A and B are shown apart, each in its own frame.
Chain A
Amino acid sequence: ILNVEQSPQSLHVQEGDSTNFTCSFPSSNFYALHWYRWETAKSPEALFVMTLNGDEKKKGRISATLNTKEGYSYLYIKGSQPEDSATYLCAFDGGTSYGKLTFGQGTILTVHP
């Protein structure tokens, strides 16, 4: 059984704060690491697909880094806004290559105005 862990489980920040959370995953048989943002009553939105060790990706105020050797990825949000409030999920593709993802339990972010 693959173990994908996210921390913290939940996070409350004030508007304008920068924040980050962690996804840890097995360091063997790595193929890809996916990040999703899931707002209530909507579909999970794909943020990043990361495949290379040391990769850093950015989308607006959100960025992510990847360390496949030690098995972790960080997601950063700069200048949080209330609309960033959502559950952030990471998902590990352990070598299948076809998208059989093992998800973490998610980090619930609440940004207070």
Chain B
Amino acid sequence: GAGVSQTPSNKVTEKGKYVELRCDPISGHTALYWYRQSLGQGPEFLIYFQGTGAADDSGLPNDRFFAVRPEGSVSTLKIQRTERGDSAVYLCASSLGPGNTIYFGEGSWLTVV
């Protein structure tokens, strides 16, 4: 596709459940990022992939959060035992690499009830 694609666009889940959020980056982009935006704040960095490897996962809040990018293209953000505080917009972004424009998807709106 022309842009970064994220699915689902909206997800409502019960506290304690497992959730997967998918990101399909712009074709050819080797760098992929996940950010999270909570209400009233700017997006916060979660994790950066260069190719298949997580080059920087310092933003993941705890071990309930995990992300993979097995073939260097599509990425999945996985959240275990969801909590109400995980409710946020999860944004995926991609770029050609360092120093290039970073393009964002529309986000996955997660609500934990």
Stretch at the interface among B11-19, B42-50, B64-72, B73-81: B42-50
B residues 41-60 in Cβ contact with A at 8 Å? 41-45, 48, 50, 55-56, 59
CB distance from B60 to the nearest CB of A (A): 13
Which A residues lie within 8 Å of B98 (CB)? Answer: 97-99
Q: Which residues of B contact A98 (CB under 8 A)?
A: 31, 48, 50, 55-56, 97-98
How many residues on B have C-beta within 8 angstroms of the other chain's C-beta atoms? Answer: 30
Q: Hey, what's the 0/1 contact readout for B16-31 against A, CB within 8 Å counting as 1? A: 0000000000000001
* B93 CB to nearest chain A CB (Å): 8
A43-B105 contact, Cβ under 8 Å, with A98-B56, A99-B31: yes
B99 contacts A97, C-beta separation under 8 Å: yes
Nearest chain A residue, comparing its CB with the CB of B44? A103
The smallest beta-carbon distance between B77 and chain A, in angstroms, is: 16
Q: Beta-carbon contacts of A5-49 to B below 8 Å, as 1s and 0s? A: 000000000000000000000000000101010000111101001
CA distance A33 to B68 in the complex (A): 28
> Which chain B residues lie closer than 8 Å to A106 at the CB level?
42
Smallest beta-carbon distance B44→chain A, Å: 7
User: Nearest residue in B to A31 (C-beta to C-beta)?
Assistant: B99
Q: Which residues of B contact A (CB under 8 A)?
A: 3-4, 31, 33, 35, 40-45, 48, 50, 55-56, 59, 91, 93, 95, 97-107
Q: Please name 11 further chain A to chain B contacts, defined as beta carbons within 8 Å, in addition to the given A43-B107, A49-B99, A100-B56, sorted by A numbering.
A: A43-B103, A46-B104, A97-B98, A98-B50, A98-B55, A98-B56, A98-B97, A99-B31, A101-B35, A103-B43, A106-B42
